[in-house]
Amino acid sequence: MSHPHQLMTTEEVAERLGVKIPTLYAYVSRGQLTSIRNADGKGSLFARADVEAFEASRKRTTTPTIQTAITLIKDGQLYYRGRDAVVLATTEEFEAVSALLWTGDYDSAPFPINRDMLHLAHRATEPLPHSARLTDRLRVTVAAVAAADPLRFDTSPAAVVATGRQLMSTMVHALPLRAAPPGKPMPLVEALWYRLTPESPTTASLRALSAALVLLADHDIAASTLTARIAASTRAHPYAVVSAGLAALDGPLHGAASALAYPMLADAMIDPVATISHRLRAAPSSGAVAGFGHPLYPGGDPRATALFALLKGPAVETAEQLAATMRTRSGVLPNIDLALAALTLSYGMPADAGEAIFAVARTAGWLAHALEEYADRPLRYRPSGRYAGESPT
């Protein structure tokens, strides 16, 4: 209970700020907060307005705890809006899971193709060299179609969902074809298939690719997701949010990790023991091997287990042999990057296909997190740096 004249006691202020009383006195000694002596000479009082101003300044200059209702990682399992992601990977289409992430409800309506946007994306990506990665093309596509959308700054929930459906469809359909698709409407996973491999799709192969997209759609506050949320907190439009996520995803320790596991798995199909030995020697300080270990899943990555269960063939058998060797020697278990490498190798996809699958899938998650940020206070992220340079002269 506050005192007359809008004054608060030391105990009340400490409780409100969530700090101990000595910390509160430290704020006073630094001149960050002003106190007045109580009339009885015992303790201090604080003006409520000063406390509220100080509290607001702390929120502006610190990184807030992110409360999200999208993804939960608990007891070695992954959940989207309370649903087991492994179950969703084999029971729901990617479009429906995307809608679940965005709105909390399933909606398997197909993602529409905007012919004008698609034509623009083709024109923008056509000059890129043959060596350009698939994710390079995705980044150019997002930037190009953003510039052509005059309503891109509409961040209302319905607009963001509509933009997301159209953008993700354009991202996939703008990629170069590797095989001629049938002339009929098809789900996003099938459209992506024809842009990743010349092999004809089967029910099993499309199920595996769909599962990979679902399993990679979100993963709590990963590096790219945090980047996307920071962009959304500035009220950047959805295209810019996706561009921010794609930028962070480009690192070899994040979305591009499967591209490192791919050549390792290909080499291991010839000599698995020598391959592991070479990779361990190449990273002696950490002992890290691409495709193995995850700090959030000490008991094993459930996404990898789920995806491996949908695959078969030499690449999968080799991956299982590598996993057995690593488990025996160091107790490290495979992660989703190894499973993604096995998927892409099994179906004749290029080394960068895993990164493209990751990028398309995670776009759904970035937009879901953007929707949460748009509904929250803007500019929430402002960490303070600890200066370690030369003293001012």
**Distances 273 to 12, 226, 265, 322 between C-alpha atoms, Å:** 64, 38, 11, 8
Annotation marks residue 254 as catalytic? no
Annotation marks residue 337 as catalytic? yes
From 365, 316, 364, select the one nearest 340 (Cα to Cα). 316
- 336 vs 353: CA distance, rounded Å: 14
The secondary structure element, H or E, covering residue 80 is strand 77-80
Q: Which of 173, 219, 237, 337 is catalytic?
A: 337
The angle formed by the CA atoms of residues 11, 17 and 20, to the nearest 5 degrees, is: 55
From 220, 186, 187, select the one nearest 68 (Cα to Cα). 220
Those residues with Cβ within 8 angstroms of residue 380's Cβ, 6 or more apart along the chain or in another chain: 59, 64, 233, 373
- 117 vs 119: CA distance, rounded Å: 5
From 83, 121, 334, select the one nearest 214 (Cα to Cα). 83
What's the first-to-final CA gap in the chain, in angstroms? 48
Assess contact for 246 and 139: CB atoms under 8 A.
yes
From 291, 258, 263, select the one nearest 275 (Cα to Cα). 263
- Please report the beta strands in 313-362, taking only residues with DSSP state E, as ranges in sequence order: none
Q: Which of 294, 301, 352, 369 is catalytic?
A: 294
HEC profile of 363-383 = HHHHHHHHHHHHCCCCCCCCC
Greatest Cα pair distance in the chain: 86
DSSP string, 198-230: SSPP-HHHHHHHHHHHHHTS--SS-HHHHHHHH
Active site residues: 294, 337
